[in-house]
Amino acid sequence: MKKLLGVAAAAAVGYVAGVLFAPKSGEQTRLELKQKKSELEAKANEKKAQAKEVFDESAEKVKKGASEISGEAAEFSKKASTSASRMSKEASQLGSQAKRSLGRAADTANKTTKDVSQSVNKLK
């Protein structure tokens, strides 16, 4: 962008110098300078309008992208929360099942210990 402005400025200075040193009347030189100034202002305004349009389009795209990302993040958060809740319930159920299974295993171990004790007592 700086190079483009530098080139445009150099071209303008070159043009002005050429016009000033050309063998033309002062009135004609002033008229040409005014015309060139008008042309340059029109081009500058056109470029300004194009830059604003590009900026506005880009800003809209950024807003749209940010909105989509926000929506996706919210959806992910909701799914993660639901999954965590489901996992918590399943873990609780597994814990209860494990407790019951260990209780039955302990009961079986106690019964087996009694049975073995009775068998050993019969041998005495």
Does a structural domain hold residue 69?
yes
- Tell whether 120 is covered by a domain: no
Please give the structure tokens belonging to residue 57.
């389009």
The predicted-structure confidence for 77-94, as pLDDT tens digits, reads as follows: 999 999 999 999 999 999
pLDDT at 53: 96
Residue 76 within a domain: yes
Asked, for residue 11, whether it belongs to a domain, the answer is no
pLDDT (tens digit per residue) in 96-115? 999 999 999 999 999 999 98
Q: How does DSSP classify residue 57?
A: H
Which letter does DSSP use for residue 25 in this model?
-
**In a domain? residue 66:** yes
Place of tokens 């799914």: 79
In this structure, is residue 49 part of a structural domain? Answer: yes
Would residue 14 count as lying in a domain? Answer: no
Q: For the chain, what is the domain count?
A: 1
Counted residue by residue, the chain has a size of 124
Work out the mean pLDDT of the chain and round it to a whole number. 88
Instruction: Look at residue 60 and tell me if it is in a domain.
Output: yes
Percentage of residues in the chain with pLDDT exceeding 70? 82
Range of the domain at 31: 25-101
Write the DSSP symbol of residue 43. Answer: H
